[in-house]
Structure 1
Amino acid sequence: MGNVARPESSRRAATRHFWYNSDTMNKTYTRREFIKLAALSLGSLAFRPFAPQKAGNETGFVVRVAAASVSVYAQPDDTSRIVQQRYRDELVNVYHEIVSDKGPGYNPVWYRVWGGYMHSARLQTVREQLNPVVERIPAGGLLAEVSVPYTQAYMPGPRDTWSEVYRLYCDTLHWVIALDEGPDGGPWYRLKDELNDAEYHVPAEHLRIVRPEEMSPLAVDVPPEKKRIEVSIEKQMMWAYEEDRLVFSTKVSTGVLKRDRSINGIPTATPVGEFRVISKMPSKHMGGGQLTNDLEAYVLPGVPWTTFFDGTGVAFHGTYWHTNYGMTMSRGCVNLRPEEARWVFRWTTPVTEYGEIEKRGYGTRVIVT
């Protein structure tokens, strides 16, 4: 799709969509500075240190720009005139969805927005749900889902300072290990990163605690050897069978076919062959493990409902950085919508108990062709 230069007027307009201010990002704050800036935001939308501004949509739904930029076109057609650009993490009101006869054929879904049309591929549908705070956190922690468009995580530092680290996005899952007083004096959950063991904080009301029944196993009366999953790279489809009965099917995004290898030296193409589910993790930090607030870095904390079936790290998992199912998009994994990934997680074996960070075993058969 096309691209245009970002005019000065667009840069000014973009800042009005956020409680962030570009001059105050990438900074370490003392508690006093943090509280002062947060208090200023009560009378102005100029700054909000840990969440986006509400989009205020009453008739349609809201999407988050999940790429560096996404074009707004005059028509639902990527050969039409580009009207403007929308930039990473902006929230956009969608008036309605359109299936365009101009395609693309694998994903012809476009959104009618202010000023034109945006293709759905790099837009994440989000919600704005604030949650009651759970004060008692058990020793093993609680699994929680981000239920706002995004929440900015902070790490406490020396001399009562707080520094930005990851931005955590809607539908991602994280392990809550404690409830602390945050930099604004309010209740913030302390999260434990399973990859790098880092601990950082987000406002507690931004996370919804996952109930045990939401991850309880499905079809437990079906013998495990009667279950199988088939994936077609050519068709970008996945099917789940109980013996020969189809019980689930959906479009997927498998690995991009590249001659070079990904940053960890593993091919980006999804491997073909017959596999078994070997590990399941409801929350997985993928990509690099470095602590950063760089929004363009390849760090993906909290990837939801991860079901590994190959020792190189290939898995079924939920995806929050694109919705372009039907096209190869990944670095080898099988991308699914988060709710579909949760179904796969629950339906496959080995069975995961609530509170387990990882479950390993010789599980459901997976055939990739």
Structure 2
Amino acid sequence: MRPSRRTLIKLGSLGLLRALLPPLPPVDFYTDGEPARPVTRRPAIAFARSLQFGALIRSEPNLRAPQVGVLRRDDVLPIYAEVQTESGPPHNKLWYEVEGGYLHSASAHPVRWQLNQPVNDAGAHGFWAEVTVPFVDSRVAPSVKAAPTKYRYYGGTVYKVIQVVKSPDTPEDVRARPLPFSGSTAWWYRIEDESFPGLYFVPASHLRPVAQAEFAPISPDVDPREKRIVVKLREQRLYAYEGKREVFTCRIASGTYFKDAETGELKDYTTTPGVWYVFHKTPTQHMYGGAVGDDESFDLPGIPWVSYFTRSGIAVHGTYWHNDYGVPRSHGCVNVRSEDAKWVWRWTLPPNDYKERYATLPVKERQNPARGTTVIVE
């Protein structure tokens, strides 16, 4: 029997669309106490995680098309195709074809759904790992019975694994408390949070170890003084140059204004124009700030591939809380897709050591284009 669209949306919110990703074997799941088998459809190119409550699925890729579905935050659906149309805001006319209709790309974060073979030893220095399922809730102990922490780790975010722990759970425990997106829960990774130390455990199968080769610099033989990043605020685009040759470009979301919850005044978080130099880099950063309730408040673990270029903390980094590039919307940083942030991170100086969390230039070297890549914001 073919599940209804309503059932599939429920399955998406529980992370139970596993059979739609061809490499994963089909399994039985239960919804509302009734058995429901995921139905094999045409292959998904990715999965869409809803970024907000009330994200609308429409019958056609058009903002005026009838609504055929409503998603909650973190509902997950397969993406069958990307569609460019004339309908949408001027900076973003990309739609995703999903089950039952079309979802505007600004409403969803495209993510992977990949389960991984656990690493059985973190080693003396730990290792870096990327979340490869739409999301996973961290817990205070390596068990499905343990209480969740306040942090949900989203697809594409990166963390430092400092310990590998075998779970004490029995098969009965796991069956009684199935986790979203399935996968083995026999082994768990303990995550190091540099901003808020504590106990954070996640199933090892939900994270992919980042290989040391992924830290290798891009174009290391190019004279560092010939490398430069140019951020064009009017275009909302980043360019990378080696001499006069453009070698990379991507869309961005730069800083904007946010409203103060108490005064109603707008605060200026626009990205500061000028000539800067990358001086501090990290594979991942837990960023937070602002007062609770303010438009400007945020608490975001695992931001990937961060390249700081001002002392006030402005950086180029990956983004998972929005998918709407081409318009200012950040707290000053240059938001880009995580894969674009990784390219910039590998291409710029200073280089990163896999064993270290940070690569930081001494103060006296922070305006030396031979040591830190030039960034021009204009």
TM-score by length of 2: 0.78
Q: 1:202 to 1:288 in 2, by over 3 A?
A: farther
Please state if 1:17 is matched with 2:3: no
- CA distance 1:54–1:240, shift in 2 (3 Å): farther
Structure 1 215/16 Cα, relative in aligned 2: closer, same or farther at 3 Å?
same
Q: Are the aligned partners of 1:261 and 1:267 in contact in 2 as well (CA < 8 Å)? A: no
Distance 1:364 1:43, change over 3 A: closer
| Cα 1:220–1:197 shift into 2, 3 Å | same
1:141 and 1:175 in contact (8 A); partners too: yes
Q: Which residue of 2 aligns with 1:326?
A: 326
Deviation at 1:288, TM superposition (A): 4.9
Residues 112, 20 of structure 1: CA spacing in aligned structure 2 closer, same or farther, 3 A cutoff?
closer
Say which SS state the counterpart of residue 17 (structure 1) adopts. Answer: helix
Partner of 2:161: 176
Match of 1:368 among 367, 373, 377: 377
1:36 aligns with: none
How much does 1:198 deviate? 2.1
C-alpha separation in 2, matches of 1:42 and 1:302: 32
Structure 2: gaps (5+ residues) = 17-26, 171-185, 292-296, 367-371
Cα distance in 2, alignment partners of residues 248 and 236 from structure 1: 14
Partner-residue secondary structure (3-state), 1:175: strand
Q: Contact 1:178/1:189 (CA < 8 Å) preserved in 2?
A: yes
How far apart are the structure 2 equivalents of 1:130 and 1:368?
Answer: 40
The code of the aligned residue for 1:298 comes to F
In the TM superposition, 1:46-125 aligns within 5 A as 58-61=42-45, 62-125=47-110
Q: Name the % identity.
A: 36
The 1:113/1:20 distance shift into structure 2, 3 A limit, reads closer
Alpha-carbon shift at residue 59 of structure 1 (Å): 2.5
> What whole-Å deviation, never above 9, does each CA across 1:86-136 have from its counterpart, x for those lacking one?
111111123322111223221111122333321101312222211111112
The CA RMSD over aligned residues, in Å, is: 3.1
Contact 1:111 1:120 in 2 (8 A): yes
Q: Deviations over 1:273-331 (max 9, x none)?
A: 111112101011112599xxxxxx83211110000111121110111222211122211
Q: Alignment partner of 1:44: what SS?
A: strand
For the 8 Å contact 1:277–1:364, the answer to whether it is kept is: yes
Aligned equivalents of 1:55 and 1:151: distance in 2?
Answer: 23
* Distance change (3 Å), C-alpha of 1:154 and 1:276: same
SS of the residue corresponding to residue 199 of structure 1 reads coil
Structure 1: gaps (5+ residues): 1-8, 22-40, 48-52, 291-296
SS in 2 for 1:225: helix
The structure-2 alpha-carbon separation of the partners of 1:135 and 1:114, relative to structure 1 and needing over 3 Å to count, comes to: closer
Matched residue type, 1:195? S
Amino acid at match of 1:44: Y
TM-score normalised by length of structure 1 = 0.80
Q: Tell me if the contact between 1:260 and 1:267 (Cα under 8 Å) persists in the aligned partners.
A: no
Alpha-carbon shift at residue 231 of structure 1 (Å): 0.4
Which residues of 2 match residues 1-369 of structure 1 at below 5 A?
14-19=9-14, 44-45=30-31, 58-61=42-45, 62-156=47-141, 161-182=146-167, 184=169, 186-258=186-258, 267-288=268-289, 298-361=298-361, 362=366, 363-369=372-378
Paired residue secondary structure (2:287): strand
- Paired residue secondary structure (2:117): coil
Return closer, same or farther for 1:156/1:298 CA change in 2, 3 Å cut-off: same
CA contact (8 A) 2:15 2:76 kept: no
What amino acid is aligned across from residue 309 of structure 1 in structure 2?
F
Q: Take 1:83 and 1:301, find their aligned partners in 2: how far apart are those partners?
A: 34
Q: How many residues align?
A: 327
1:23-58 per-position Cα deviation (integer Å, ceiling 9, x unaligned): xxxxxxxxxxxxxxxxxx9763569xxxxx989654
CA distance in 2, matches of 1:348, 1:307: 8
Task: Determine the C-alpha separation between the residues in 2 that align with 1:195 and 1:136.
Answer: 24
Contact kept, 8 Å, 1:122 with 1:321, in 2: the verdict is: no
Partners in 2 of 1:143 and 1:339 — Cα distance? 16
Alpha-carbon distance in 1 for matches of 2:163, 2:41: 34
Partners in 2 of 1:350 and 1:15 — Cα distance?
46
Shift of 1:259: 6.7
Deviation at 1:83, TM superposition (A): 3.0
Q: 1:57 to 1:190 in 2, by over 3 A?
A: farther
